Structure 1
Amino acid sequence: MTTAPAIELRTFTDLGPARGDLLDVYAEVRAPLLHLPNYAVTAFGERLDRHSGEPGFVAILAYAGDQPIGYAYANRIEHGDRYWQRTTPAPSDVYTAQPAVALKEIGVRPAWRGTGTARRIHDALLLARDEKFVTLMVNPAAGDGKVHALYRKWGYEDIGHSQPSPASPLLTVMIRPVG
């Protein structure tokens, strides 16, 4: 892995100023999948708008100069949240008894992959969190399994599966301690 070029990480708790840049990066990151209903930019925009109104929302965008090159966003989920209700098998109370941070999306433009940018964004997003655990959902087929393997390398472990919507593929639910 090469050293990440000089980038600036910006934190947003209000989606407004970041929404356009986030959608632009998403469209390039997910370009091969945009023909699928669940991955369409409009569907992502609707999810993003909904998630940004939920408790604990934060987005981190990476910029090289004025060019947005990557993003991640998350929010807090509580015991009984629909996130946990859709996970099978039901996750252990060890994970769900207290609030957790749900990493909803992370992506880096193809030209910036392999530079450590995704990990820097991920770690910056978790730095200010006070939840004990962070969870995410990953399509096990993404990148021919490389994305799932990367999350394992970052310390995440599989705890179940979820299909958040009828248009969504079956996703693997993963979790790890925040710190």
Structure 2
Amino acid sequence: MTSAPALDLRTYDQLDVVRGDLLDVYAEVRAPLLHLPNYAVTAFGERLDRHGVEPGFVAVLAYAGKHPVGYVYGNKIEEGDRYWQRTSPEPEERYTARPAVALKEIGVLPAWRGTGTARRIHDAFLDSRDEQNVTLMVNEAAGDGKVHALYRSWGYEDIGHSQPSPASPRLTVMIRRTR
């Protein structure tokens, strides 16, 4: 697929409405990694359930007809949030003094990669946000470095590293303005 056909982008602020679709798409997106404890569907489900009740939770899913083909979700974080506490070196106050939005997960089905779908759902997610900055974490090895490079092309810059759990790889923390 070289260009994205018409997609229906849907925004949700309640996890229970969309949890099944998120799990289904995640399982296909992360299929090559599901044998690793941090990437197992059960581990993702536990993180999703925790994030879904945190302040400012929003998910955007892209549908082709009735089938979800991509998703993004995140929530608001404030100064002192465990997200910032696990970031090393400690982020500058200009990033943490005001609430930010943490983009916790983004994924697009393999057949839809390279079509602009990820950018469309990313931008739709940010369109619903009032926070000044958006931050995310990326495994620099993902896609042989292509995912990290993609986020840089979207305006993100590296500000530190984090290892959210013992089973998680070391991740690069990135940030940019929401608009």
Shorter chain as denominator, the TM-score bin is over 0.9
Q: Which amino acid aligns with 2:7?
A: I
Superposed CA offset, 1:54-93 (max 9, x none): 0000000000000000000010000000000000000000
Q: TM-score, normalised by structure 2?
A: 0.99
Shift of residue 43 of structure 1? 0.2
Structure 1 unaligned regions, length at least 5: none
Please give the secondary structure, in 2, of the residue aligned with 1:131. coil
Percent identical residues: 79
Please give the secondary structure, in 2, of the residue aligned with 1:124. helix
| Separation of aligned partners in 2, 1:128 and 1:36 | 33
**Contact 1:38–1:44 (CA under 8 A) maintained in structure 2:** yes
| Separation of aligned partners in 2, 1:65 and 1:2 | 18
Shift of residue 2 of structure 1? 4.0
Structure 2 unaligned regions, length at least 5: none
User: Displaced runs of 4+ in structure 1, greater than 4 A?
Assistant: none
Q: Which amino acid aligns with 1:3?
A: S
- Which aligned pairs between 1:22-171 and structure 2 lie closer than 5 A? 22-171=22-171
Please give the secondary structure, in 1, of the residue aligned with 2:123. helix
**Contact 1:59–1:125 (CA under 8 A) maintained in structure 2:** yes
Shift of residue 174 of structure 1? 0.1
Q: CA RMSD in A?
A: 0.9
Shift of residue 126 of structure 1? 0.3
**Contact 1:104–1:137 (CA under 8 A) maintained in structure 2:** yes
**2:16 equivalent to 1:12:** no
Shift of residue 3 of structure 1? 3.3
